[in-house]
Amino acid sequence: MIDGWEKSTLGHHIDLLTGYPFKSSEYSEEEGTIRLLRGDNIIQGIIRWEGVKRWKKTTDSKLQKYFLAPGDFVIAMDRTWVKAGLKASLITEKDTPSLLVQRVARLRAKNGLHGKLLPILIRSHRFEQYVKGVQTESAVPHISPSQIKEFSVLLPPLREQKAIADLLTTWDEAIEDTERLIRAKQKNLKGQVQKLISQRCDSWTHIKPREIFDTITEKNFPDEELLSVTQDRGVLPRSMSEGRVMSPDGTTANYKLIKRGDFAISLRSFQGGIEYSHYRGIISPAYTVLRAKVELDSDFYRLFFKSYIFIEKYLSLAVIGIRDGKQISVPDFLSIKIPVPPLKEQQKIAEVLTSSQQELGLLKQLAIKYKKQKRGLMQKLLTGEWRVKPEIVNQYRGAS
């Protein structure tokens, strides 16, 4: 035990309140009525009020304790930790007035826990692992108030808690600033695609893909690297793909060769489904490989095949099935007509959009780096392995 640090459980240091069991029949859509904070309103650690449910009754004495206040921390007890992140958030001034709904817990710090450290403890990797270990597995995974309270914590003195919280807040600010830039760049890129591609499509010559691309079925390349076809990063080595990828059983003799600059028609049409290959290797025989047989700029078509106008106006004519079962009909795709700008125009557009994409990619890498560094720093600081310098801690005398 570190001198001056207290080992305890979170329940000794928080006031936890679960929400009121509002009835859906009493919801209102009227402006001016009170917003109800449900688990669905907590997305990626941020409160989203779009489509919010409201309470018809604006005055009811029994509801007073369920009103949220700035500084409260809320956590959804259903699907507490989802792929997108923790369903928990800090309540700010703009989130009030609002009422706490059943299956959402409100946490307030007390008894030697600084309010600024509470969100940090809940957002820690250790809490994430704890939730994954104790949550009730069912159709809707969930945790209980008692499980939240049983989470073990190691707390330094209040002033050191405040110093740790302020230090980690600087990382949060850097991450937030970077993500704000990412959103701005994404909006700008979307506008560029609209201006350079969508608004010009009708003026370009339209040709059937079968006249532009050959379908390739080169096989028997067992020594080539195995590649995965992803819908967010194109075709890349399986070692680089996220998530679990099953290795092929037996021989890869039937796997198809794909080269850099080729395209693979994915099994599903989500986000387009025609993926650019950045690498040479082999992919499952279930995919169709397209290789240009006329001179074109592959970067232009890499961007065009992901554009909204292609997916909605052109690809929709070659898609079969519904929802998650949507697939691209290869014969239909090869028969529709797609725009083919002059080569120099393709190259100019690709150059502009690729430059913007690269800037966006660097910012995303920076955000990932900041988050990784913050996570490592949290682990060190919250376990006492690393300590804030005494001269900094001493600046927080009288912290509360």
pLDDT in tens, 91-137: 999 999 999 999 999 999 999 999 999 999 998 989 988 988 888 87
Same topology, domains 156-200+351-400 and 201-340? Answer is no
Smallest CA-to-CA distance from 126 within 165, 158, 152, 108 is with: 152
> Distance between CA atoms of 277 and 272, rounded to whole angstroms?
14
> Distance between CA atoms of 142 and 158, rounded to whole angstroms?
31
pLDDT per position as a tens digit, 49-91 = 988 888 876 667 788 999 999 999 999 988 877 766 788 999 9
For the chain, the straight-line distance linking the first and the last C-alpha, in angstroms and rounded, comes to 24
Smallest CA-to-CA distance from 253 within 215, 214, 217, 290 is with: 217
Query: Helix or strand or coil: residue 170?
Result: helix
* Cβ partners under 8 Å of residue 110, min gap 6: 13, 14, 15
Q: Does domain 156-200+351-400 have CATH number 1.10.287?
A: yes
Q: Does domain 6-155 have CATH number 3.40.50.1820?
A: no
Q: Given the DSSP bridges, would you call strands 34-37 and 98-100 parallel, antiparallel or unpaired?
A: parallel
- DSSP letter string, 67-106: B--TT-EEEESBS-EETTEESEEE--GGG-SEEEBTTEEE
Q: CB–CB of 233/348 below 8 Å?
A: no
Q: In the chain, what are the domain boundaries?
A: 6-155, 156-200+351-400, 201-340
Sign of the CA dihedral running 292, 296, 300, 301: negative
> Distance between CA atoms of 328 and 315, rounded to whole angstroms?
8
The two tokens of residue 248 are 């092929």
How does pLDDT run along the chain (400 residues), one tens digit per residue? 788 899 999 999 999 999 999 888 778 777 668 899 999 899 888 899 988 888 876 667 788 999 999 999 999 988 877 766 788 999 999 999 999 999 999 999 999 999 999 999 998 989 988 988 888 877 778 899 999 999 999 999 999 999 999 999 999 899 999 999 999 999 999 999 999 999 999 999 999 999 999 999 999 998 899 998 888 788 999 887 654 444 555 678 899 999 999 999 976 655 568 999 999 999 999 899 999 999 999 999 999 999 999 988 888 887 776 455 578 889 999 999 999 999 999 999 999 999 999 999 999 999 999 999 999 999 999 998 999 888 888 887 765 5
At the second CATH level, the architecture of 201-340 is Alpha-Beta Complex (3.90)
Indicate the pTM of the whole model.
0.77
Amino acid at site 144:
S
